[in-house]
A = this chain, B = another copy of it.
């Protein structure tokens, strides 16, 4: 099982807010600071959704405090990121892989693929960002191409060669850290 937000099994205490746990170079933290940068220059308003949690017990040690004492991570029904860019709805999922040769499709839930398909059909900008950690390459693959692969190939993973052919490389930078909207501009046409 994959835990959301890179929680490791041997971690029993998490001190930071889970949605902003900036562990240096994780894809999630780079996307968070990039989105913060985009907001700061009024370019786009894109946020990571909170991790879905099923709360089963809450205690109230004092009048104005609620402490969750039992809860479970649940499977997200949509993707992790969405927002608005150039007046358009934008929606994506971001994943890292340790493989140097392929991206395993069970990294993305079926209903997330279905969700991206719905967004694409309704003229939203839908895509996935996939980082091959050991190759130090981050790709942006449009939902159309992802879905086309899934629906036409009988494979459980997408080979690197497919990304090389169909996806766009996202450049590392300083501000923003990961300028994925530059890739979107290339795809949907410059401003």
The residues of A with any CB-CB pair to B shorter than 8 Å are 1, 3, 7, 9, 11-15, 17-19, 39, 42, 44-45, 47, 49-60, 63-64, 66-74, 76-78, 82-91, 115, 118-119, 121-124
| CB-based contact B56/A14 at 8 Å | yes
Complex Cα–Cα for A67 and B63 (A): 25
In the A-B complex, the 10 residue pairs with the closest CB atoms: A87-B123, A68-B71, A50-B52, A89-B89, A84-B89, A50-B50, A1-B64, A18-B55, A84-B124, A17-B54
Contacts of A3 in B (CB 8 A): 66
How far, in whole Å, are A90 and B3 apart by their CA atoms in the complex?
30
The residue on B at minimum CB distance from A9 is: B60
Contact present for A13 and B57 (CB under 8 Å): yes
Contacts of A64 in B (CB 8 A): 1
**Nearest Cβ in chain B — how far from A167, in angstroms?**
23
* Complex interface: chain B residues within 8 A of A55 (CB): 14, 18, 51, 53, 71
Q: Are A12 and B84 in contact (CB under 8 A)?
A: no
The chain B residue sitting closest to A17, CB to CB, is B54
Bound Cα distance A88, B63 (Å): 42
How far apart are the CA atoms of A112 and B77 in the complex, in Å? 23
Complex-state Cα separation, A111 to B57, whole angstroms: 29
Which residue from chain B places its CB closest to the CB of A126 in the assembled complex?
B84
Residues from chain B with a CB closer than 8 A to the CB of A1 are: 64
On chain B, the residues within 8 Å of A123 by CB distance are 84, 87
Contacts of A85 in B (CB 8 A): 122
Residues of B contacting A7 in the complex (Cβ-Cβ under 8 angstroms): 58, 66
Q: Check if B12 sits within 8 Å of A59, measured CB to CB.
A: yes
**Chain B residues positioned under 8 Å from A44 (CB to CB):** 122
Would you give the shortest CB distance from A43 to chain B, in whole angstroms?
9
A70 → chain B, closest Cβ, in Å?
A: 7
Since A51-B55, A88-B89 are in contact, a sample of 19 more A-B pairs with Cβ atoms closer than 8 Å, ordered by chain A residue number, is A1-B64, A7-B58, A9-B66, A11-B58, A12-B60, A13-B56, A42-B118, A45-B115, A45-B119, A67-B72, A68-B68, A68-B72, A82-B82, A82-B83, A84-B89, A84-B91, A84-B122, A84-B123, A87-B122
